[in-house]
Amino acid sequence: MLLWKLFQRWKRRRSERRALLTERQDETRPAAARVSASASGQPLNAEAAVSVRELRMAYGGFEAVRGIDFDVGRGEVVAFLGPNGAGKTTTVEILEGYRRRSSGEVAVLGQDPAHPSPDWRALLGIVLQDSEPEPYLTPRECLRLYAGYFPRPAQVDEILALVGLEDKGDVATGSLSGGQRRRLDVGLSLIGDPELVFLDEPTTGFDPSARRSAWQMIAGLRDLGKTIFLTTHYMDEAEYLADRILVLAAGQIVAEGTPQTLGGRDRMSARIEFRLPLGVEASGLPAPFRDGLATNGRATYVTDSPLRDLHALSTWALEAGFELPDLQVRRPTLEDVYLELTGTHHEH
């Protein structure tokens, strides 16, 4: 019920804000900020929350970002993955308006972040990888302080509830656990009621329980219609949260897709593994498993037809009276695919 009320209030505020921005946009936005075609002739997507064409960023003779294109739809959760030095931080800082690009076209919520209108920054929420909320203030006081910076902030009590800190609202921030402080970081990014939230490594250093709780909180932002641009080194985090994944390596996007289809993952061969029954050699297995590998009493077989081959294996085991208690069937994990996609690129 609380999430539903928050969602309805958010929709009303967004409609009001968009109407106000539409009235002011042509007057306040410089010509350089208007959505236009890129140098390559591919137009920016005016309907997307983020649209990037031929983005480049050079530091001296080193080109950190090398002509990338991508879009982020409104209400979408996109994970931006890549090894250290791939250009992720540079790209995100350009999108946030903190770094000027060398060339290319960028639109974030319809505006060029290098030349935004006065109201534009209030539409963004940013969670940095490292931050330090005021330790002597309470979470409630921190949120009230930050709310004063925005023209139409969210309600403090609503944000405390949304990030799961309603019972910690009046204790000193310095006494919060690491996970609770990270929840406050997210709360501070939401107090301005943003349309787009940048999350930079939101669960670094969390224990497994705290990470799962944070994932549930971030998933709740999707339910509120927020657009989320997420950077993370945790593949399970990207798989759980993201609608779509972009992989950056050596300044270029090398793959794009859903967690299930990235890099052709959904079409990759499956691996069937099991321990050989006592007294059975690989040559005694049913076809086609006798053509697989057997090492240290464990058989491994790669197949494009796992259901068919599992049927042959289970029929053979049942007829022979064998148990296969550690039988495993799996396709490549997202981490496997990610390492394959980025493994041939050098980190800078």
DSSP assignment of 110-167, as one string?
Answer: TB-TTS--TTGGGGEEEE-SS----TTS-HHHHHHHHHTTSSSPPPHHHHHHHTT-GG
How far is 333 from 290, CA to CA, in rounded Å?
Answer: 25
Confidence tier at 29 by pLDDT (50, 70, 90)? very low
**Range 63-83 average pLDDT:** 96
Could you say which of 208, 233, 263 is where a domain stops?
Answer: 263
Whether residues 243 and 277 share a domain: the answer is: no
Same domain membership, residue 277 and residue 187:
no
Of 45, 40, 49, 59, the closest CA to residue 18 belongs to 49
Predicted local confidence at residue 245, as pLDDT: 97
Instruction: Tell me: pLDDT of 124 over 50.
Output: yes
pLDDT (tens digit per residue) in 149-166: 999 999 999 999 988 899
Overall number of domains in the chain: 2
Q: What are 170-217's pLDDT values in tens digits?
A: 999 999 988 888 889 989 999 999 999 999 988 877 888 888 888 988
Is 279 within the bounds of a domain? Answer: yes
Residue 237's pLDDT is what? 94
* pLDDT at residue 18 tops 70: no
Provide the CATH number for the domain around residue 213.
3.40.50.300
Q: What is the mean pLDDT of residues 239-247?
A: 96
User: Do 99 and 224 fall within a single domain?
Assistant: yes
> Are 315 and 205 part of one and the same domain?
no
Which of 75, 332, 29 has its CA nearest to residue 223? 75
Q: What average pLDDT does the segment 255-273 reach? A: 91
Domain range for 281 is: 269-330
Whether 99 has a pLDDT exceeding 80, the answer reads yes
Q: Are residues 167 and 277 in the same domain?
A: no
More confident residue, 3 or 99: 99
pLDDT band at 134 (very low <50, low <70, confident <90, very high): confident
Mean pLDDT of 70-83: 96
Q: Degrees (nearest 5) of the Cα angle 343, 84, 179?
A: 120
- Judgement on whether residues 102 and 135 belong to the same structural domain of the protein: yes
Both 174 and 30 in a single domain? yes
Cα three-residue angle 50-234-231, rounded to 5 degrees:
20
Are residues 298 and 194 located together in one domain of the fold?
Answer: no
- pLDDT attached to residue 32: 35
- 47 and 166: one domain? yes
**CB atoms near residue 317 (< 10 Å):** 18
